[in-house]
Structure 1
Amino acid sequence: MGYNFSVQYKQGKENLCADALSRLHEVAHATLHSITTLQSDTLQHIRESWKGDTHLQQIIAAKEAGTAAHRKYSWEHGVLKRKGKLVIGDDQGLKQRLFQMYHAGSMGGHSGISAIYQRMKRLSFLKKMKPEIYNYIQQFTVCQQSKSDNQWPMGLLQPLPIPDHIWRDISLDGLLKSLGKSTIFVVVDHLSKQAHFMAMPHPYTAVTVA
């Protein structure tokens, strides 16, 4: 850095700055320090969702009794987990609240289905989580009204070459079932714009068209 440093030892009584910041008085050791914790009603809402689920109530009762059943689940400090993930009960209001938090909240940013699913499954367990998330986003008004283009920006428009003879450059298309025929074969000449419509059954081959 262009500086020349030298390390000099100072005795404790001479190192006044360090004493003021790092050393505590004897009275400070006896001081009671308070601890502040954050309490969220979301966890309480999750616990209440377990009460309406008979299957989860059986799992909780088995874990409280100390049985070896339901090994994938754990019950610690009043919290039910499955493989270390918090279990979400079948409560529609709670699910809507969690989806809102993970999708439209500060941590969501209106992400897609896969992004929200990956975030939620890291911390929580919910039966049929991905279909539930899909249905929620499909009904979310803001996302349905705002559609972003995920394609690469297009380049300059390239005009099509002009044919020099009729029926030299044609396009083919097929339509839905009509009048007993499963396919209407459409042939269009790009130069004269003439078109031929041929009703055919499905399946068809090049021999049938000829």
Structure 2
Amino acid sequence: MALVLAIQHWRHYLLGKQFIVYTDHKSLKHFLQQRLSSPDQQCWLAKLLGYQFEVQYKPVWENKAADALSRCNDGEFTTMVSYPTWLDGKNLIQEVTNDSDIQQMVAELNINPLGKSGFNVKQGLLFYNDRLVLYSKSPSIPMLLKEFHSTPTGGHSGYLRTYRRLAENLHWIGMQRTVRDFVRACDVCQRKKYDSTTPGGLLQPLPVPHVIWEDLSLDFIMGLPKSKGFEAILVVVDRLSKYGHGILLKHPYTAKSVAELFVKEIVRLHGHQIKDEFCLSSGDGWAN
């Protein structure tokens, strides 16, 4: 809602002061007096509490300042557009033109335009998916990497952003590896940037059980094709003997039904020790 957003945006000027809100939305004039019938209206009204304002309706034809550009007299309308230009672009094109390997591919494509997938020739230059092709050992590549990564425009971005900027217009063999190695070797990035993720700790091994069917591991295998109505498997494995059971399940199943199936298929076969520990530690939790 524009009214709420505008008042919140200028709240540091409007709090504690009486002000007038002009709008061409006539129903907003009665917003504070009407009966609220939707949760959205209640939320908006709660955000306006504490402000002292009056809403005044202004018809569209009187609100000339809002769309002054669309009401200007017909005539010549000029704009000034600025855009960056690459000063070394001519040198790069001259280098591509003088490269023998690229010119050989251009000659082959002139004979057979469909001979190399993705490559085409435009105005005597070789393009791959509409990107200018450079020789992989071109002396301009280090300059390009520095321009797209180390300059204020590049902003020392990471590998992916630097690669995407270059890949918009350029292509050479081994481009991803070259960009990755350059970013990894950047001295500023290595000094100033830090890893934002918490380093992984050491693995904590589980204690080794001393009795079979004392410590079990359970897991579900999902997404199986239906067979007689079954489409999931509950896998129960004894951690000491590595003996396992596979119990078929049908959707939908709950924690209570799985617990009952565990008692029926596992506890029934492997003694009362599991049953006692299971009922005390897991039965109520699964049922809930």
- Provide the TM-score with structure 2 as the length reference: 0.38
Change (3 A) 1:23 1:48: closer
**2:132 is aligned with 1:80:** no
**2:98 is aligned with 1:44:** no
In 1, the alpha carbon distance for the partners of 2:83 and 2:151 equals: 22
Letter in 2 for 1:76: K
Where does 1:25-104 land on structure 2 (aligned, <5 Å)? 40-51=86-97, 53-64=99-110, 67-104=113-150
What secondary structure does 1:74 align onto?
A: strand
Post-superposition Cα deviations, 1:131-162, rounded to whole Å, max 9, x if no partner, equal 21122223322223324231359xxxxxxxxx
In 2, the alpha carbon distance for the partners of 1:109 and 1:40 equals: 18
Where does 1:36-185 land on structure 2 (aligned, <5 Å)? 40-51=86-97, 53-64=99-110, 67-151=113-197
How far the C-alpha of 1:119 sits from its partner, in A, is: 2.7
Q: Quick check: 1:52–1:90 contact (8 Å CA) kept in 2?
A: no
What secondary structure does 1:93 align onto?
A: coil
How far the C-alpha of 1:64 sits from its partner, in A, is: 4.6
In 2, the alpha carbon distance for the partners of 1:57 and 1:126 equals: 14
Post-superposition Cα deviations, 1:152-206, rounded to whole Å, max 9, x if no partner, equal 59xxxxxxxxxxxxxxxxxxxxxxxxxxxxxxxxxxxxxxxxxxxxxxxxxxxxx
Q: Quick check: 2:125–2:132 contact (8 Å CA) kept in 1?
A: yes
What secondary structure does 2:59 align onto?
A: coil
* Cα-Cα RMSD: 3.6
1:22 maps to what in 2? 74
**2:49 is aligned with 1:3:** no
In 2, the alpha carbon distance for the partners of 1:90 and 1:52 equals: 14
What secondary structure does 1:23 align onto?
A: coil
In 2, the alpha carbon distance for the partners of 1:65 and 1:149 equals: 52
How far the C-alpha of 1:82 sits from its partner, in A, is: 0.5
Change (3 A) 1:78 1:151: same
| Alignment size in residue pairs | 135
Change (3 A) 1:38 1:4: closer
Letter in 2 for 1:44: K
Change (3 A) 1:78 1:40: farther
How far the C-alpha of 1:85 sits from its partner, in A, is: 1.6
In 2, the alpha carbon distance for the partners of 1:119 and 1:67 equals: 28
How far the C-alpha of 1:113 sits from its partner, in A, is: 1.7
If asked which structure has higher relative contact order (CA below 8 Å, sep 6+), I would say 1
Change (3 A) 1:92 1:74: closer
| Identical-residue share of aligned pairs (%) | 19
1:162 maps to what in 2? none
Q: Quick check: 1:87–1:124 contact (8 Å CA) kept in 2?
A: yes
Where does 1:178-193 land on structure 2 (aligned, <5 Å)? none
